[in-house]
Chains A and B, each alone.
Chain A
Amino acid sequence: MARRSVRPVAVVSFAQSDMMRREEHRNDVEVLQPVIQDVFGKIGLTKDDMGFVCSGSCDYLVGAPFSFVQALDAVGAWPPMRESHVEMDGAFALYEAWTQLQEDDIDTALVFSFGRSSMSEIGRVLTLQLDPYYMAPLWPDPVALAALQAQALIDAGKYTEADFAAVAARSRRDARTNPHAQVTGDHSPEELLGDDYVVAPLRRHALPPITDGATAVILAAGDRATELCERPAWITGMDHRIETHALGARDLTTSPSTRSAAEGAGIGRGDDGAVEVDVAELHAPFAHQELILRDALGLGGTAVVNPSGGALAANGIMVAGLVRMGEAASRIMDGSARTALAHATSGPCLQQNLVCALAAEPAGDGRG
């Protein structure tokens, strides 16, 4: 798979709504609209400056076909714009925008995603992602499937429930510094282990919250990025891979697609074989999944993982992956990190994974 050198593209702005359990008064457009204004406002641009607009969302989540069409009202698609949409997490919309920015007919792109999980029975909606002939009619919900994966980890002797609690405790403590986070907490892992099981071996703390929210990112290429932002977060590589669907045909304790995606994103390893990045934002809706992802990525001990609190602090379906990218980029934009990694996932038990490598400098030869 030969690849010409990557055009330097960077994240130059990021905005998100306050993530919450239930948005009582505003509809999707009204939640999204201030986020769009914010992402533009931070760098003094408007919709008219965008070369391409791409969004991610899910009709079934919000109970309406073509739900993304009206969402464009939050942007104002006039005069007519070059625009597209994926029925996936906004992280994949960002990937599409990044690939289109590789051609030099456009210099900027707006990416956004939204979703209000409070509207529906989110477990049922996600169960409909499963094979409609063999799996979905059994109605296994996402928590049950995640529990299968967690149990497989324990049975393989890789991790314990205490390890899951440690991830949850750390994530929710760190979320206290994130003004947009939905769930924060200050408990020790030992305290958390006192919770009842929801579906063994998962206790409540190991589960993601149900979240309403929206987020947006602006990408810019080359000199345009440096004009707009003091410290652009340069994308040095990005890739995604999908695994097979039937859970029984996968080793749920590993994430080979995350590993392949990271290699495709050009994420290099240090002399000790570990991946050295300053910050990693991993889209792990369930606590045990962070451990699987760390292993797949080969993250070295110095990486700060999910300083935002990650998906355990706010898990907007269709949104959380793009938020990971924005959060990772923010650490570079605010100067606190030189290298970062963002990950997004889709499907049951980490079936599909995207990895994005970010840095304070654009890549030299075009590769990470």
Chain B
Amino acid sequence: MAERTAVIGVGQTYHKAKREDVSIAGLVREAAVRALDDAGMDWSDIDAVVIGKAPDMFEGVVMPELYLAPALGAVGKPMIRVHTAGSVGGSTALVAAHLVSSGTHERVLTVAFEKQSDSDAMWALSIPQPFSAPLLAGAGGYFAPIIRAYMRRSGAPDHIGILVAVKDRKQALKNPYAHLHIEDISFEMVRDSIMLWDPIRYLETCPSSDGAAAMVLANERVADGSSSSHPPAWIHGMSMRSEPTMFAGRDQVNPLASKECAADVYRQAGITEPRREIDVAEVYVPFSWYEPMWLESLGFAAEGEGWKLTDSGATALDGGDIPWNCSGGVLSSNPIGASGMLRFLEVAMQVRGQAGEHQVETVRRALGHAYGGGSQFFAMWVLGADKP
């Protein structure tokens, strides 16, 4: 990394099933204005805008950066739109970060959003393509068989997914921005909810949300002089990796791209024992079982043992030594294009001490993670309270 880069402002919307009170422009501005305010900046302070979102079928607007340029103060500036499927929020943050670390710009506003209530999300995700069987029933239909394979491989007991669903939704109650606030969430409630794609139950599934996330990224000179009331969160490592979605011999449960992306980001950040050296993580878990799976893939637990870590309560904000998804995670808010950035943004909040009720006490290093498509695209970053 050539230039030190930091997050100096964050903002997000109140995520809801349907944001009928704002247009698409209004939605993204809500997050962007909060991020600028947090950074103590104005639109004119921004050098470039990087926006990311998932397929345009979610809103029916092709290449919405064109329509959104004036709403995001981008007129007369460089503007790029990233699209890497579900991980896009994360990769957008990384593209923006590289604009700073490469010395191209000093202050970059990055925004990710989805206003998926405008269209039909299930349709947008699996538009029937001719020549293939019309079997796919949304993302769950794709991931459920993979989860079953994990359960078989690891011998995990059936209740593990339920624990994750309960934990993340309980934690969401401490996040005012989260979409789902299920006050009386309980093990029994999740267990008894309808099976959607066996083994995934309704309450083990992410919601469909409208929402946006935004961050201001800056170089060292700007970060050091920042008037934000919170300190900068410094990027210690960032990485993205892709592999083919389907190929003979692919490990769908623990893809190599995931392991290599994690290894790269840890190497940059000088981390050798993630469980010990990382204080909090926001990891893209759209279906509950992905927590134990990613615990293993990201090196927090040995292969086959991720479920034990979940089972022990180690990943809970309350009483856990490696809290995951204190914000409630993707299971509590899922505006698809923004979800990856929310993971990256929430760990920035943790490092900067601005996570309010879901703040982990002492955060020196945090991991943000996003994945997308058919688990073939991974984006991760490690943030630290100290300069790298």
Contact = CB atoms under 8 A, between A and B. Distances in A.
Are chains A and B touching directly in their complex (CB below 8 angstroms)? Answer: yes
Interface of A: 1-4, 53, 58-60, 63-66, 68-70, 72-73, 76-88, 92, 95-96, 99-100, 102-105, 125-126, 128-133, 136, 239-246, 256-257, 260, 346-348, 351-352
Contacts of A351: 66, 69
A158 B331 CA distance: 58
Interface stretch (B30-38, B123-131, B204-212): B123-131
A53 B255 CA distance: 19
A241 B76 contact: yes
B76 A86 contact: no
Given A87-B56, A260-B76, A3 B69 contact: no
A84 B2 contact: no
Contacts of A239: 78
Interface residues of B, number: 66
B47 A88 contact: no
Of B1, B67, B91, B257, the most chain A CB neighbours within 10 A belong to B67
Contacts of B129: 63-64
A1 B47 contact: yes
B127 A64 contact: yes
Contacts of B98: 96, 99-100, 103
A132 B25 CA distance: 10
B79 interface: yes
B76 A257 contact: yes
A60 B83 CA distance: 13
Contacts of B103: 3-4, 102
A82 B102 contact: no
A60 B76 contact: no
A86 B243 contact: no
Nearest to A65: B55
Contact of A65 (B59, B66, B81, B127): B127
Given A1-B47, A99-B99, A103-B102, A242 B75 contact: yes
B63 A65 contact: no
Q: Which 6 A-B pairs have the closest CB atoms?
A: A65-B55, A80-B257, A102-B102, A87-B83, A83-B242, A128-B62
A59 B64 CA distance: 13
Contacts, number: 180
Interface in B38-73: 47, 54-57, 59-63, 65-70
B23 interface: yes
Interface string B235-273: 000011111110100000001110011000000000000
A133 B64 CA distance: 12
B122 to A, nearest CB: 11
Interface in B68-116: 68-70, 74-85, 91, 94-95, 98-99, 101-106
A244 B60 CA distance: 20
Nearest to B71: A245
15 contacts: A58-B62, A59-B83, A60-B56, A64-B127, A76-B244, A80-B257, A82-B240, A102-B102, A102-B103, A102-B104, A103-B1, A129-B66, A132-B24, A243-B75, A245-B68
A88 B63 contact: yes
B376 interface: yes
A87 B247 contact: no
Nearest to B126: A65
Interface string B170-183: 00000000000000
A126 B62 contact: yes
A58 B57 CA distance: 11
Interface string B371-388: 001101100000000000
Contacts of B242: 53, 72, 77, 80-83
Of B78, B241, B374, the most chain A CB neighbours within 10 A belong to B78
Contact of B82 (A1, A64, A84): A84
Nearest to A93: B80
Of A76, A131, A136, A239, the most chain B CB neighbours within 10 A belong to A131
Contact of A86 (B82, B126, B127): B82
A351 B95 CA distance: 22
A241 B78 contact: yes
A2 B62 contact: no
